[in-house]
Structure 1
């Protein structure tokens, strides 16, 4: 669609209108095939793509801090290094603070199990029996409590179980170590070259779709 100005010249519609018109002309089955292929590729390449997706998410969350440091005339490489180091420090402190708290909560829950068993047998089961007309007080709640108490100590050593499981397989250990090294490296370079990376992605988008793609990206970012 074209518009004629007052002086008789023909003006084209805005880029956004052209983009919307271009999108309407694409058949629905094209999008179905496209998203189907993308979903299949992501599913099949999941183990390979996972560290890169994690790195992208971390870079997306942290790059605003790097941009702020860059506005303060700090070099981008140094800013990335500083933000990256502080992020690792905060994560390590969070883990160190979380593990003891989790162990305390598990211990408290274990001590509450006998009281919960008494409440279950004296209050809950009789109430259920009265409502459904069936005697459920014969449920061996004590046995259930015993099983939970026997297994709660294992819950406190989840980290040990995870490490044992990972180290039981050489391939899994190698993949885990590779990801541990790969994610920080990829995250570092994504943070450093964030704007160049977005520009490169934008160059891959067809020109008629670029305005719509840019608007969607801005809305998602907000």
Structure 2
């Protein structure tokens, strides 16, 4: 027997959160492609006697611009989480993480052994924990990226950040270790993105509440209580 409950429109994500999500996603794609080129050159310019190609410099410039955009998104999203009124539904999600009962019910839901638990806020405990981990890794990759940046550019912003970044570089065991940590963080983000996309599609299909619509339009469509 079909349920008589209707779906209602519920505003979930603010325009600021949606913009940072998609700008961050595009930045990560650009950083991945340009980062692979910097680490493993897979395209070479036409051979010429004139110093006009500078392909490596162009890829590095693209990587740096995308990197600073990513840092900007990280800072703005952090601000939204703590101070944005609409982001209150994200902050409330912390309560779900502290409930062992909801953890168990959520895992059972993903294993097709039970119904989705009633949660507070917008994220279930697995989502919230994975997002916190993602932002920690994002912080690490931005930090190591800045360390690599100041080792090449010593004026302007590079000069301003040079001394603190060199101190952090020493704590990490040197520039070679920093570069290795940067690469490891990149692979962790790759894995997160694959799992994130899969779970977003899974929840959208199984939940049938327009969960994926929310990150585009801001609205999801749960059933009336």
TM category (shorter chain) comes to under 0.3
The two structures have a TM-score, normalised by structure 1, of 0.23
In our comparison, the structure showing a higher alpha carbon Rg is 1
Q: Which has the higher contact order (CA 8 A, sep 6+)?
A: 1
The two structures have a TM-score, normalised by structure 2, of 0.23
